[in-house]
Structure 1
Amino acid sequence: MLFYEPDARPRELLPHDPFKAIIAPRPIGWVSTVGADGAVNLAPYSFFNAVSEGPPMLAFSSDGRKDSATFADEGGAFVWNLATWDLREAMNATSATLPRGVNEFAHAGLTMAPSRLVEPPRVAESPCALECRVVHTVQLRDVEGRELDRHLVIGQVVGVHLDERFVADGKVDTAALRPIARCGYLGDYAVVDRLFDMPRPR
């Protein structure tokens, strides 16, 4: 089995860093925020996940102080929108680098829907959205203690929007939602459209 330290990978074998291909699939942090000046931002994040269920919390990590992290910090809130197979092209369009002030919702042909408890709007076309209030913003450090230009935003879920068409027998039908996920290299995605059951041992 191959072993290497991240800064010294064998580039003749692995010219592309496999880290994201190994940690896969990852849910997409499709995050909407509002800045202090009222500007609206919508962007997908590759480093995103749930980090607690009691209370429910989500986290996304920003490479640099991009608008989502900055706006979430300023406004104290963000909304996570579920990216699905049907919304894949629109989600991808919101990853474009646009001039400050250009609305990603309009750029991607999406509709802004009002949230109930936080200021940022949600994606009306998404079958699920979670309204979050920011509880922590952390600048990451490496093992040497050096501060990195990586910013982790953790939010507590305070409101849930869920399309009832995807509820069956008291459970959310994840396969019917067809969420998409980030995988390995640039442009690699997966879709969840089939589940299997494996009971936990007693």
Structure 2
Amino acid sequence: MVRRLFSGLVAALCLAASGAAAEDPPLVAGAVYDAAIPSLESVVGHPVGADITRAADVRRYFEALRAAAPDRVVIGDMARTVEGRPTYWVALGSARNIARLDQIKANARALADPRRTSAAQAQAIIADQPVIVWLAFSVHGNEISPADASIALARHLLASRDAATQAYLQNTVVVLIPTQNPDGRERFLNSFNPGRGPVPNPDELSAERDEPWPSGRY
């Protein structure tokens, strides 16, 4: 059930991120957002979908979310790319789940190894263990919508006050990799931005689609 709910949520976000909007709209019609959680526009200057967010600005936005909700957001660095950009994960959850994140990770490891965890121990862990939802975005740098979708998703989970969203966060820890390939994303944008016009050109031979080698995909 949780997997189906989040799959639908992410699909809707990718569609929303692919079209320009005048402002960052709520993901769900009628949702009321906490004004203390910043929009993308308030941090980097454009709403979700109105422009392609640079890799550094994706990171800047998630750091703004952490500053706004430090009890519900954790950012962890994983490594650096060949070109020196950070790769990182972002964990979102209720204040209770984020406060016990290390224990949740230890419990997940215990559940994964039945050689050291008995059936009774496993049931005791499961009784209070949230589901861990892992969402990794933009493995190919020129697949541009997913990283912006991760931004819209994170804001919704943190800002929405509706009961369903609060239930998600009580029962899950959502781990995001906002962009798996920041180098490729920057390569794509460095070739795409100079060639684009005010109206998107669908022609495969247009300058905005003619990426040099290596393309942003890699």
Question: Greater strand share, 1 or 2?
Answer: 1
Shared fold (TM-score, shorter chain, > 0.5)? no
Query: If the TM-score is normalised by the length of the shorter chain, which range does it land in?
Result: under 0.3
Question: Greater helix share, 1 or 2?
Answer: 2
TM-score normalised according to structure 1 size: 0.25
